Amino acid sequence: MRRTVRPVLWSAVALVTVGVGSAQERPAQPKQKQLPVMVRKLTHAQKVLEALAREDYTLLATHADGLAACVKDVTWRINDTERYLMFSNDFGREVASLQKAAKDKRGDAATLAFIDMTMTCVKCHRYLRDEGISRVPDLGPLAPRTRPAE
C-alpha cells in the first residue's frame, strides 16, 4: 500500500511546486500578447451591438469602456492630420456618450450614440482610403487601403 501511495504523493508535491513556480513567474511576462488596438476596437463595437440588443447594461458599460481605452491607446494615433484628429475627437466624444448612456441605463440614447459612433468609423476609414493613408497594409477586409493605381 505504502509503495503506491508514496509516488502519488511525490508527484502531487511536484505538481504543486511546478504550479507555484509558474505562478510566481507570471507577473514578469504578460499572460497573452494584447491584440492590436484596431482589432480590439472592432470586437468591442460588435459586443456593444450585442449588449444593445439584449439591453445588457453591464456588458454595454464593459465594452464602451473598452472602446474608450482604445482611443486613448498611443497606437490609435497613427496620423496627425487635422481631419484624422477631428474624427478621433468625434469618436471619443461619441464613445463618452455611450459610456454615459450605459451608466444611466438609457437604451435609446445608447443606440443613438452607437449609430453616431458607427458613422465615424465609416467616415474615418473612408478618409484614410481616399487619402491613401495606411500604416500597415493588408490588415483585413475593412482596413483602410491605398487605392490601387489606375
Q: Which residues bind ligand HEC (CB under 6 A)?
A: 36, 38-39, 41-42, 45, 78, 84, 87-88, 91, 117, 120-121, 124-125, 128, 134-136, 139-140, 142-144
Q: How far is the CB of 3 from ligand HEC (least distance, A)?
A: 58
Q: How far is the CB of 37 from ligand HEC (least distance, A)?
A: 8
SS (H, E, C) 44-97: HHHHHHHHHHHCCHHHHHHHHHHHHHHHHCHHHCCCCCHHHHHHHHHHHHHHHH
Q: How far is the CB of 45 from ligand HEC (least distance, A)?
A: 4
Q: How far is the CB of 130 from ligand HEC (least distance, A)?
A: 13
Angstrom distance (rounded) from CA 100 to CA 8: 56
CB nearer ligand HEC, residue 49 or residue 109: 49
DSSP conformation letters of 92-134: HHHHHHHHHHHHTT-HHHHHHHHHHHHHHHHHHHHHHHHHT--
CB nearer ligand HEC, residue 57 or residue 144: 144
CB nearer ligand HEC, residue 57 or residue 113: 113
Q: How far is the CB of 108 from ligand HEC (least distance, A)?
A: 19
Residue with cell 504578460: 30
CB nearer ligand HEC, residue 88 or residue 97: 88
CB nearer ligand HEC, residue 13 or residue 136: 136
Other C-beta atoms within 10 Å of 67: how many? 24
Angstrom distance (rounded) from CA 44 to CA 146: 26
